[in-house]
Structure 1
Amino acid sequence: MELGISMFGDLSKDQATENLKKPEQRLQELIEEIRLADEVGLDIFGIGEHHREDYAVSNPEIILAAAATVTKNIKLGSAVTVLSSADPVRIFQNFSTVDLLSGGRAELMVGRGSFIESFPLFGYNLQDYDKLFEEKLDLLLKINGNEEITWSGTVRPPLKKQKVYPRSADQNLDIWIAVGGTPESIIRAARLGLPLMVAIIGGSPAQFRSRFDLYKDEYRKAGHDPAKMRLGIHSHALVGENSDDVANRFYPYYAAQMNRLGRERGWPPLSREQFEGSRSRYGALFVGDPQEIVDKVLQVQEMFGLTRYVAHMDIGGPAHSDIMKSIELFGTKVAPEIRKAVQV
C-alpha cells in the first residue's frame, strides 16, 4: 500500500491583519515539506492546481520540477491537473519533463476540477464541462501511448502524424483519474482501466462504499485484470503528538478555509462540534495522534481495498512548523505501522 501527502499551497489569513501569507513564503515552505516527505520514506507527494488569490500554486509542474532536484525517491504528481481547461499536448510534455528530471518519478492525476476559475481564465465554456474532459482525456491517453499521434475532436485543433516530445523516462506516464464521487466519472475510469483516486472530505467514508463497488464491477466487466486494480482516497489530515492539541491548533485554520469556501457555495458555517464529529473514528477528517491515524487508515483500507492513501495536510494553511511535524509523524510513526499491518 502506498502512503503519501498532497497539498494545494493554501495561503492562510493573518487573524489580526486579515492579510494572506505571501505566496513566495508558502512556495519555499512547500519545497521544504516535499523534501522532508522524501526523507521520512513516504511514497508520493501531490500538488494541486488553483487559480485563486488564496492558493499559491497554479501550475503543479513547476513545483514538481523544483522538488525533483531536492528529492531522491518519492513519486511526484499533480493532485489534480484540471485537464478540461488545459492542453493535453502541453500537459504531457510538462510531466514528461518532470519525469526526466526526477529519474522516472513523475505521475499525473487528472480531473474535471471542483473550482471553475480556470475555465473563463483560459477561454473555455462551462457548458462544455463534460465534453472538454472526455475529449482531452482521450487525446492525453493517445499521446501517452503513442509517439506519433493523429487525432481530431471538437475542443482543439486536430493533430496529423504529429510526434510529441519529450517522452517520459519509461515512455508512458502513470495517469490516475481523480473524482469526487460522480458515478459517470467512476465508470469512465473503470472502463479505461485507469487507477482511481476518490476525494473524501466530508461525511463518513462508509458512504462511498457503493462508489468503490461500482468501480470494481465496471473494471471487471471491461475485461481488465483485477490484480492490476489500483484504488486510493485523499482526505484532509494533520498528525500531532497529542490528539487534542493538534485539533486545537488546526481547527481555526480549517474552519476559516471551509467557511470561506462555504460562503461561495452556500454551505453553513462549520461548528467545532461538526469538526470533532468529522475527526471521530467513522468521520472523514484524519486529524489526531499517530495511533488514531493508523486506525482510521487501516479502517478505510479494509473497507475499500485501497492500494493508496493520501493525507491532504495544508487545508486552510496551518503553520509550517505544524505541517512539518505532521509529515515527520506520518512518515516515522504512522506509515511503518500501516505497512506492517497491510503486509500481514
Structure 2
Amino acid sequence: MELGIGMFGDLAIDAKTGKTQDAKSKLHEILEQIKLADEVGLDVFGLGEHHRPDYAVSAPDIVLAAAASVTKYIKLMSTVTVLSSAEPVNVYQNYSTIDLLSNGRAEIGVGRGSFIESFPLFGYNLKDYDQLFEEKLDLLLHINNKEVVNWKGKLRAPLVDQTVYPRAVNNGKLPIWIAVGGTPESVQRAARLGLPLIVAIIGGMPKQFKPLIDFYKQEYKRHGHDESKMQIGIHSHSFVSDQEQSIEGYFTNYAAQMDRVGQSRGWPPYAKSQYDGGRTKEGALFIGDPSEVTDKILYMHELFGITRFIAHMDVGAPSHKDMMKSIELFGTRVAPVVRKALKG
C-alpha cells in the first residue's frame, strides 16, 4: 500500500484580527513540506485546486512543477484537478511537463470539485455540471492514450488529427485517478473505464463506504478489467503528533475551517464531540499519535483492501512547525509500521 500526504494549501486566519496569511509564505512552506515528505520516504504527495480566499493553491500543477525540482522519489499528483472547468489539453500538457521534469512521477486526480467557484470564474454553466465532466474526461483519456487525437463532443470544439505535446514519460501515458465523494454514478464511471478510484472519506464512519467500494470492485471486474491492476485509495483528514496537547489544540484549527466551509452549506457549528468521535476507531479522522493513526490505516486496509492512503494534513492551517513534525512522524513512525504489518 502506498502512503502519502495531501494538502489544499489552507491559509491561516488570525482569530483576533481576521487577517489572512499571505499566499507567498504559504506556498514556500508547502514546498518545504513536500521536500520533507520525499526525504522521509513517503510514496505520494497530492495537492488540490481551489479558487477561494482561504486557500493558497489555485494552480496545483505550478506548485507540483516547483516540487519536482526539490524532490527525487515521491509521486506528485493533483487531488484534485477540477476537470469540469478545466481544459483537458492544458491539463495533459501541464502534467506531462511535470512528468518530464520529475522523471516520470506525475499523476492526475480528476474530480468534479466540492466547490463551484471555478465554473463562473472560467465561464462555464453549472447546468452543464455533469456533462462537462463526462465530456472532458473522455477527451483527457483520448489525449492520454493517443498522440494523434480525433474527438468530438457537444460542449467543446472537436479535435481533428491534432497532436498534443509534450508526451509523458511512459509512452505518453499518465496515471489518471477518479476522485469521488460518494456518488454511485461517479464510482460506476471509474469502474467502467478501468480507472483507479480515490474516495474522500472526511466525515461519518468509513465503514459506511464499504458498499460503495464493493460496488466499484464488482463493476471493475464486470467490465473485464484486469483485477491485478485495480487501485483503490482513500483521502482523509489527518494529523500526527506525539504530544496529546498538540492533538487537543488542533481542534481549534480544524473546527474553524469546518465552520468557514459550513457557513455556505448550512452546517451547524463543529463540536468537540464530533472531533473526539471522529478520532475513534470507527471515525473518519486520522488524528492522533503515531500508533493510533497506524492502527486506523491498517483497519482501512482490512476494511476496503485499499492500495493507497493519502493523509490530508493541512485542514485549518496548522503551523508550519506542526506540519513538519506531523509529516516527519507519518514518514518515520507510521509508514514503516504499516509497511511491515502488510508484508507480514
Q: Could you tell me the TM-score, scaled by structure 1's length?
A: 0.99
Asked if the contact 1:239/1:246 (under 8 Å) is kept, the reply is no
Counterpart check, 1:59 vs 2:59: yes
Which letter does structure 1 place at the counterpart of 2:71? T
Counterpart check, 1:238 vs 2:219: no
Q: Which position in structure 2 is the counterpart of 1:188?
A: 189
Provide the rounded CA distance (Å) in 1 between the counterparts of 2:256 and 2:124: 30
Asked if the contact 1:11/1:22 (under 8 Å) is kept, the reply is yes
Provide the rounded CA distance (Å) in 2 between the counterparts of 1:246 and 1:189: 38
Asked if the contact 1:246/1:287 (under 8 Å) is kept, the reply is no
Provide the rounded CA distance (Å) in 2 between the counterparts of 1:93 and 1:155: 21
Provide the rounded CA distance (Å) in 2 between the counterparts of 1:130 and 1:271: 34
Q: Which position in structure 2 is the counterpart of 1:227?
A: 228
Counterpart check, 1:32 vs 2:6: no
Which letter does structure 1 place at the counterpart of 2:252? P
- Show the 5 A alignment for 1:79-228: 79-170=79-170, 171-228=172-229
Over aligned residue pairs, what C-alpha RMSD do you find? 0.6
Which letter does structure 2 place at the counterpart of 1:198? V
Which letter does structure 1 place at the counterpart of 2:132? L
Provide the rounded CA distance (Å) in 2 between the counterparts of 1:180 and 1:281: 21
SS at 2:31 equivalent:
helix
SS at 1:194 equivalent:
coil
Asked if the contact 1:239/1:327 (under 8 Å) is kept, the reply is yes
The Cα of 1:15 is off from its aligned counterpart by 1.4
Provide the rounded CA distance (Å) in 1 between the counterparts of 2:248 and 2:321: 15
Which letter does structure 2 place at the counterpart of 1:51? H
- Show the 5 A alignment for 1:222-301: 222-242=223-243, 244-301=244-301
Provide the rounded CA distance (Å) in 2 between the counterparts of 1:86 and 1:269: 33
The Cα of 1:343 is off from its aligned counterpart by 1.1
Per-residue CA deviations over 1:113-168 (Å, capped at 9, x if unaligned) read 01000000000001100000000000000000000001111121110000000001
Share of identical aligned residues, percent?
62
Asked if the contact 1:135/1:153 (under 8 Å) is kept, the reply is yes
SS at 2:169 equivalent:
coil
Provide the rounded CA distance (Å) in 2 between the counterparts of 1:320 and 1:250: 13
Which letter does structure 2 place at the counterpart of 1:78? S
Provide the rounded CA distance (Å) in 1 between the counterparts of 2:143 and 2:281: 43
Asked if the contact 1:132/1:155 (under 8 Å) is kept, the reply is yes
Provide the rounded CA distance (Å) in 2 between the counterparts of 1:129 and 1:246: 41
Q: Could you tell me the TM-score, scaled by structure 2's length?
A: 0.99
- Show the 5 A alignment for 1:4-15: 4-15=4-15
For these two proteins, the number of residue pairs brought into alignment is: 343
- Show the 5 A alignment for 1:40-79: 40-79=40-79
Per-residue CA deviations over 1:301-322 (Å, capped at 9, x if unaligned) read 1100000000000011111111
The Cα of 1:249 is off from its aligned counterpart by 2.2
SS at 1:184 equivalent:
helix
Provide the rounded CA distance (Å) in 1 between the counterparts of 2:281 and 2:230: 27
Q: Which position in structure 1 is the counterpart of 2:305?
A: 305
Per-residue CA deviations over 1:217-246 (Å, capped at 9, x if unaligned) read 10010001111110000000000013x323
Asked if the contact 1:212/1:304 (under 8 Å) is kept, the reply is yes
The Cα of 1:274 is off from its aligned counterpart by 1.2
Provide the rounded CA distance (Å) in 2 between the counterparts of 1:11 and 1:162: 40
Which letter does structure 1 place at the counterpart of 2:181? G
SS at 1:96 equivalent:
helix
Which letter does structure 2 place at the counterpart of 1:190? A
Segments of structure 1 that go 5 or more residues without pairing to the other structure are: none
The Cα of 1:327 is off from its aligned counterpart by 0.2
Provide the rounded CA distance (Å) in 2 between the counterparts of 1:149 and 1:102: 25
Provide the rounded CA distance (Å) in 1 between the counterparts of 2:225 and 2:309: 22
SS at 1:198 equivalent:
strand
SS at 1:265 equivalent:
coil
Provide the rounded CA distance (Å) in 1 between the counterparts of 2:254 and 2:96: 34
Provide the rounded CA distance (Å) in 2 between the counterparts of 1:249 and 1:329: 17
SS at 2:264 equivalent:
helix
The Cα of 1:63 is off from its aligned counterpart by 0.2
Per-residue CA deviations over 1:22-59 (Å, capped at 9, x if unaligned) read 10010000000000000000000011000000000001
Per-residue CA deviations over 1:96-128 (Å, capped at 9, x if unaligned) read 000000010000000000100000000000110
Provide the rounded CA distance (Å) in 1 between the counterparts of 2:39 and 2:187: 34
Deviating beyond 3 angstroms after TM superposition, the runs of 4 or more aligned structure 1 residues are none
Asked if the contact 1:42/1:74 (under 8 Å) is kept, the reply is yes
